[in-house]
Chains A and B, each alone.
Chain A
Amino acid sequence: MLPTPCRIVAIEVDNYRTKTFIFDARLEAAPGQFVMAWLPRFDEKPFSLVNADPVTLMITAVGPFTRLVHELQVGDRLWLRGAFGHGFCAFPEQRRPALVGGGYGVAPLLWLARQQLAEGAQVTVIVGARTQADLLYIDRFERVSDSTSPGALTIRVTTEDGSRGQPGRVLDALTPLIERGEVDGVYACGPHGMLQAVEAVAQRASLPCQCSWEAYMRCAIGICGACEHAGKVLCLDGPVLAAQRSFGASSHCASPL
């Protein structure tokens, strides 16, 4: 599938370096899947779907490509191909999942939380960042919380400098929840160090855990090998990999859900 031009219909500013772009396009996809975004004659980069209908991307400006995308206005086009990969697999039998997002790792979690809430689960979302200014999507999770039954969605915030929420990292919020037995599954997206730590605490408690891993992507269709991680091609086998057998024989679930 070739890149398709998609028109930007709305842009929302999320923090000092992050914007959410809504496009006049829809895709068949699941939370955790991603698209490749192309700026002609410049570069093509992967971004998680925040939503598939309409296609929505949350983009943090960290380098040349993302800064150029931030200059785009409503009415401008970005070329997208996808959706790619295997996303998160929400299990109805999980009643108390914890969703853990570090930095722009929250991007796919809002959609996942909405799916799990629709299944009647009691969801805890842990959002972490360095400082209050870096936090993302807290207001969106609060809006979701307001629109569901009281207590169905709990939002926990951590900042490394303590400027908002619990001082520390997402793990400091997740570990006590797990120890108190308040969680029966963990879903995480963020930097590798964070995911390794989350996987380790989940595994110690024998909890099923799905993590969305990041890697440099080229083909996004599983043949070039650029995105290898632990014997998997993340663009196809992942980006979401399950850490536990309890998710079934295969390490991912079929997509779209």
Chain B
Amino acid sequence: MAELSTRFLDLTLPTPLVLASGIWGTTVSLLVRAAEEGCGAVTAKSCGPTPRAGHVNPSCLDWGHGLINAIGLANPGAQAEVELLRAAKAKLRPMGVALIASIFAGPPEEFGEVAAIVAQAAPDFIEVNISCPNVHSEFGEPYAGDPDAAAEVTGRVKDAVREAGIAVIVKLAPNVPSIGRIVRAVVAAGADALCVINTMPGMVIDAESGQPILANRSGGLSGPALKPIALKCVYDARKACPETPIIGTGGVTSGVDAVEMLMAGATVVGVGSAIYYRGPSAISLICAELAAWLDAHHIARVEEIQNCAHRERIYSVAPTGAPIPLAH
């Protein structure tokens, strides 16, 4: 069977699948369950400086072609998160599965403070969520929309965890004019890796009541509808920074989806909404399908397909092309 283990930063993960942040929330038992299903790394729900209840319901729905959520970053606060991450790490380490902590904050310096607290738990990596679309009113526009702001936050977090020696992953948003510019800015500011992408802002309205359904009115789209957007963002990010490891995330629900994400330039593949579309065993199903696809194509190691879409086939002749339309 094809080799699924994948190098990511300084670790070799047993599989290239990563549980996306916010999926299954913040409980140790569910992070471990995702690891047992076959994740090579699991990401905890984003935590901030203080405990947050999150938004009122409805806060997450299936709208037909994907999910939409505005959980509103419900979390127990960084201090409580430390205990949770420690307990999770103790269970994950013997399995060889990496633990990624995820953080958010208000002003840039607060990102540094939260990172320093979370670092006490010695997670394998810290992911910086500068791209949550659901907390505008409190935290303003996501930093992921502006290269300078994104770089400043990245720098603060790097400074805060440099001594602890924890690598920093920056999680980016799809709704920017040029993700390549953001990628170059955060990598120049010290980002060790990228997570591409977070959810895409959207809204669902109930025609019968005439009202937005989410209590937060708008939310973030995930699942199948997100996949082509995610593939394009990962592709652009890979072009912008050929050497930076990328967690390609968005709309992956099958082994072939994972193949496509790796081909677009992902180093490893984030999986979230698939746990709804395929059920709690989604990760193990996707792992098995990925291995079967590689076997069927006589590919020995999953790492061989990374960046495939960037190695374009070249022909000796050019296609004829379409004729210029006639005015008539």
Residues of A within 8 A of B (CB): 1-3, 5, 36, 38, 40-41, 43-45, 77, 79, 81, 217-219, 221-226, 228, 230-231, 233, 236-237
Contacts and interface: CB of A to CB of B under 8 A. Distances in A.
B223 to A, nearest CB: 10
Contact of A231 (B33, B63, B211): B33
Interface string B206-247: 101101010100000000000000000000000000000000
Contacts of B67: 219, 221, 223
Contacts of B275: 222-223
A236 B278 CA distance: 12
A5 B61 CA distance: 15
A43 B215 contact: yes
Contacts of A217: 57
B167 to A, nearest CB: 25
Interface in B84-124: none
B24 interface: yes
B25 A226 contact: yes
A228 to B, nearest CB: 4
B248 interface: no
B81 to A, nearest CB: 14
Given A3-B206, A223-B276, A233 B59 contact: no
B307 interface: no
User: Chain A interface secondary structure, helix, strand, loop or mixed?
Assistant: loop
B280 interface: yes
Nearest to A46: B57
Contacts of A222: 275-276, 279-280
A2 B213 contact: yes
Interface string B55-83: 01111111110010101001000000000
B201 interface: no
B288 to A, nearest CB: 19
Contacts of B32: 231
Contact of B213 (A3, A223, A225): A3
Given A43-B215, A44-B58, A237-B280, A224 B25 contact: yes
A249 to B, nearest CB: 14
Nearest to B207: A5
A45 B57 contact: yes
B23 A228 contact: no
Nearest to B29: A231
Pick the most buried of A5, A223, A225, A231: most chain B CB atoms within 10 A of its CB.
A223
A38 B58 contact: yes
Nearest 6 A/B pairs, CB to CB: A225-B25, A219-B60, A231-B29, A44-B57, A40-B209, A225-B24
A218 B64 contact: no
B273 interface: yes
Contacts of B149: none
A77 B211 CA distance: 14
B174 to A, nearest CB: 19
B63 A218 contact: no
Contact of A224 (B63, B69, B208): B69
A17 B273 CA distance: 39
16 contacts: A36-B58, A38-B57, A43-B57, A219-B61, A221-B60, A221-B62, A221-B67, A222-B275, A222-B279, A222-B280, A223-B24, A225-B24, A226-B25, A231-B29, A231-B32, A233-B24
B247 to A, nearest CB: 18
Contacts of B29: 228, 230-231
Interface in B309-327: none
Nearest to B62: A1
B11 to A, nearest CB: 25
Contacts of A79: 206, 208-209
A234 B211 CA distance: 29
A106 to B, nearest CB: 25
A233 B58 contact: no
Contacts of B211: 40-41
Contacts of B63: 2
B178 interface: no
A225 B280 CA distance: 11
B27 interface: yes
Interface string B272-310: 110110011000000000000000000000000000000
